[in-house]
Amino acid sequence: MLVDRARFPSDTISTHYIWQHGTACLKRWGLLDRVLATNCPPFRTIGLDLGAFQLIGDTPAVDGAAEICVPRRTVLDKILLDAAADAGAEVREGFTVTGLTSSDGRITGIRGRGPDATEVEESARIVIGADGRNSSVAAAVAATEYAVRPTLTCGYYAYWSGVSPHIPAIHPQPRRVVITFPTNDGLTITYVAFPRDEFREVRSDPERHLVDALRLVAELEQPFRGATRIERVRGTGDLRNFFRPAYGNGWALVGDAGYHKDPIIAQGISDAFRSAEWLAEAVHTGLSGARPLNDALADYQRLRDEQFTPMYELSCNLATLEPPSPEMSAFYNALRTNSIERNRFFGTLAGAVPVHEYYAPANLQRIASGGH
């Protein structure tokens, strides 16, 4: 059974960027072609604008998936919901979970209300919270956060029509990061990360602050010259950085419910897809009787934390919005003439190159000194 308080298609605050390790999941599930068919342009060439120069590279493929795509959540979530229903899930939209049921220290199901407001209880061998960073499931089981980092940024974004073709890129600016990329139906999304301590000011007039940030980027002046913003500016200051326990007796967490980090390099959906695959395998192993369920779920949590911690630390580091150190500036400069390592650099974001290996000090020094 799958329940959601929304009715689909439904929008939600999200940068909805899917790197290759995320599109590889969609490909395995037989959904990638369906997503791309919604007039969602795939791409693999991206840039990092460092002011004096721009690094441009091709992100490597992951498990046969070469595409990055940025489908709007009104499109993506409906495709995922329909796929779940096609696979046999009972789907209840407009259903609000009001609590969990339990017995002898174990979660046994959910309590909630459907569209007719009638309170019902449903039993389950496991309740999975895929309900975001403010997860009601996590709150109900008192899942304590760990590896917490300070909230570093607030983020606002908008959709534009009439933007001329340009390379999707990350544009760091003083105390700002501006990111642009294409989405459905010829639209372009712009996302701006601001320091969290400016949230009150930015929230007072998000459109002005977002446009002011765009004007800082010389590379975007021409592409946006004839552009029109088509919807209101959206954003949030609730961009906490934490892990939560991934499971307990009768429950599990997946996606942002179990682990959330600053979206400055837009890994959330790709990570949620990957962790959903790992959790599905663990649940199947446990419910089939091949292993005790909690043993399989413990492996899921270990794998999640092991795989995601390096990117978590990198995201938190970049979200400080500090300029690059002299060592990192030398590294970036070396990438200008090293196309192999430049593509591998972008490959860390795509999930094709392990972050902890690439960002090892010895490897960065090797590249900065001209090594191949």
For the chain, domains (ranges, CATH) are 95-149+240-318 (3.50.50.60), 153-236 (3.30.9.100), 326-368 (no CATH)
DSSP 69: B
Residue with tokens 């990061």: 177
Angstrom distances, CA of residue 161 to CA of 75, 183, 188, 231: 18, 10, 7, 10
> What is the rounded distance in angstroms from the CA atom of residue 124 to the CA atom of residue 140?
16
**Number of DSSP helices (H) and strands (E) in the chain, helices first:** 12, 19
> From the first residue on, what is the mean pLDDT of each consecutive set of 10 residues in the chain (372 residues)?
95 94 98 98 97 95 97 97 98 97 98 95 98 97 98 98 97 97 98 98 98 97 96 97 99 98 97 98 98 98 98 98 95 97 97 97 95 65
> What is the rounded distance in angstroms from the CA atom of residue 314 to the CA atom of residue 312?
5
pLDDT at residue number 372: 62
**Torsion of Cα atoms, 75 then 77 then 83 then 84, to 10°:** -160
> What is the rounded distance in angstroms from the CA atom of residue 316 to the CA atom of residue 347?
19
Sequence-distant (≥ 6) Cβ neighbours of residue 351 within 8 angstroms = 19, 20, 21, 22, 24, 62, 270, 274
Q: Which residues pair with 194 in a beta bridge?
A: 154
pLDDT at residue number 370: 86
Are 31 and 71 contacting, i.e. CB atoms less than 8 angstroms apart?
no
> What is the rounded distance in angstroms from the CA atom of residue 338 to the CA atom of residue 344?
10
Are 107 and 141 contacting, i.e. CB atoms less than 8 angstroms apart?
yes
> What is the rounded distance in angstroms from the CA atom of residue 233 to the CA atom of residue 329?
33
> What is the rounded distance in angstroms from the CA atom of residue 85 to the CA atom of residue 76?
14
The CA R_g of the chain, rounded to the nearest whole Å, is 21
Are 75 and 12 contacting, i.e. CB atoms less than 8 angstroms apart?
no
Going edge to edge, which strands form the sheet with 127-129? Answer: 127-129, 251-253, 247-248
Give the predicted TM-score (pTM) of the model. 0.96
pLDDT at residue number 307: 98
Tell me how crowded residue 133 is: count the other CB atoms within 10 A of its CB.
Answer: 20
